[in-house]
Homo-oligomer: A and B are copies of this chain.
Amino acid sequence: MKLATVTHAGRTKAAVLDGARWRELPAPDLSALLAATPLDRLADLAGAQLPGAVPVLPLPAPRKVVCCGLNYADHITEMGRELPTHPTLFAKFADTLTGPEDDLVLPEGLDVDWEAELAVVVGAELTGADRDTAARAVAGYTVANDVSVRDWQKRTPQWFQGKAWDRTTPLGPVVVTPDELDPVAGVEVICRVNGVERQRGDTRTLVFGAADLLAYVSAFTTLRPGDVVLTGTPGGVGTGMTPPVYLADGDLLETEIPDIGTLRNRLRITESRS
């Protein structure tokens, strides 16, 4: 199944794709749907068609967004580093997320960089879960770009303040259920800036896969339906180029996982806020 939150007739609705058409699911968005409905019942709930529906931010209200850094083995190895024994984790807020076609609006003077990622959507409550239990709790996968404000990220040892700018992490356009997508077998994660490819990774090379990450996080904090875990970015980010390259006003950031879809977000620079 391909699930989404769509706008239709001026409201948002949870929806499931039926061929080329969206059909209504009984909730205003996927956050509300997953909180109320067991995964195995979703397929039976498809209602009326929603002609002209357009996907927006699929998960507007996760209670937890946990991100993993340093997770692509080929990129870590090419940087001359050892493979990590534990995932490097940090948090974002629900406010950090934005929709698949939304502009990224930021003040001037920031070093804004891209990080294309596979995101995992939690479908069942997990506390102290083992890997198999965590694997069965995956509601699906979607595309994310962990857009990072590098100068703020590097101001202190903790990355958070470069990673939690409001409405800077696009997510979507759809959530694909695990029966249709297997990141362990490999899916490509691609990032383009103004049409030029900057990143292309394969989830086969993830050090910590989706089930590993959900199990690891659930050892210290309960994950619930609708929570989101970002799996890290492959090589090719702007800060790693010589000299570093960052996004400029008007740049088009495209983030693609072929069997899920493409995020298209344009950077809009406003006057400085502070």
Contacts and interface: CB of A to CB of B under 8 A. Distances in A.
Given A128-B273, A273-B128, A95 B221 contact: yes
B221 A93 contact: yes
Copy number in the complex reads 2
Given A149-B220, A161-B220, A156 B89 contact: yes
Interface in A51-93: 63-64, 69-70, 84-93
Given A93-B63, A93-B64, A128-B273, A88 B158 contact: yes
A168 to B, nearest CB: 9
Contacts of A158: 69, 88-90, 158-159
A93 B91 contact: yes
Secondary structure of the A contact surface, majority rule? loop
A94 interface: yes
Contacts of A92: 91
A155 B86 CA distance: 7
A148 B95 CA distance: 26
B91 A274 contact: no
A96 interface: yes
A130 interface: yes
Contacts of A174: none
A157 B210 CA distance: 21
Given A89-B160, A90-B160, A273-B128, A95 B155 contact: no
